[in-house]
Amino acid sequence: MSGDSIENQIRAALKQDPAINVQRYPIHVQQSDAVRLEGTVADIEAKRRAIQIAHRIAGNAGIDDRLRLEVARSRPNDELRQAVAHALMQEPGFIELQVLETHAQPPADQDWIRVSAHEGVVMLEGVIDSLSHRRLAEVLSWWTPGTADVDNRLHVQPPERDSDEEIADTIRMVLEKEPAIDIAQIQVAVDDRVVSLRGLVHSEENRRIAGWDCWYIPGVHDVQNRIEVAG
């Protein structure tokens, strides 16, 4: 399959997905050594879906993800870095985690994260104790205003085996921290990395927020948002 054919197929598939809305948010597709997707998208669902489409069509070709979320206000690099670091340090589950300054040496006997930021892209590096905490660190980074993308390079030590149950547990943990959601009103199920949400919220905006919170979690392949808005 030629590079041009792959590019055209990806462009056509992106146009057919209403969650991506390429008319308002154009995505540039180009193939060289890898297939590059570049542009600004409305939200995390659009970003994840676009990358999935590219993976499905490109097959073994690598994907160079240059998609960035639209942000209300860009922040200087150090301001964004400090905001993400503060969010991580305020998380009760990370009480024994050391958040390092830019050039600090990592500890040998403690979990750690180093945060950096450049033009809205947050990078997380370090060692962390569980997959759920690795995912939570990424979600907290996405939640920080000004974040347009997250490059999660955290390593889990000791390694853990991923599963649908692990993803579901992380989703419940994230939704419990989400002020817009009453977790007691939400049911979460995960089957082959596809999330199903059911329950009640008070507004359409809160329903969308619950779906986005699931898409923020790495490893989720799709979200079937069947939450209803209470009348």
The predicted-structure confidence for 105-141, as pLDDT tens digits, reads as follows: 999 889 999 999 999 999 999 999 999 999 999 999 9
pTM: 0.94
The predicted-structure confidence for 15-69, as pLDDT tens digits, reads as follows: 999 999 999 999 999 988 899 999 999 999 999 999 999 999 998 889 999 999 9
Q: Domain coordinates of the chain in residue numbers? A: 3-69, 77-156, 164-229
**CATH for the stretch 3-69:** 3.30.300.30
- Dist CA 199 CA 176 (whole Å): 14
- Dist CA 26 CA 211 (whole Å): 23
In this structure, the dihedral spanned by the alpha carbons of residues 4, 59, 44 and 139, taken in order and rounded to 10 degrees, is -140
Q: Which residues pair with 191 in a beta bridge?
A: 194
Q: Which CATH number fits domain 77-156: 3.30.70.330, 3.40.50.150, 3.30.1340.30, 3.30.390.50?
A: 3.30.1340.30
- Residue 102: the pLDDT is 86
Q: Are 215 and 45 in contact (CB under 8 A)?
A: yes
Q: Which helix (H) or strand (E) holds 90?
A: helix 77-90
Domains 77-156 and 164-229 in one fold: yes
Q: Which CATH number fits domain 164-229: 3.40.1010.10, 3.30.1340.30, 3.90.1150.10, 3.40.50.1820?
A: 3.30.1340.30
**Sheet with 34-41, edge to edge strand ranges:** 27-31, 34-41, 62-69
- Residue 4: the pLDDT is 59
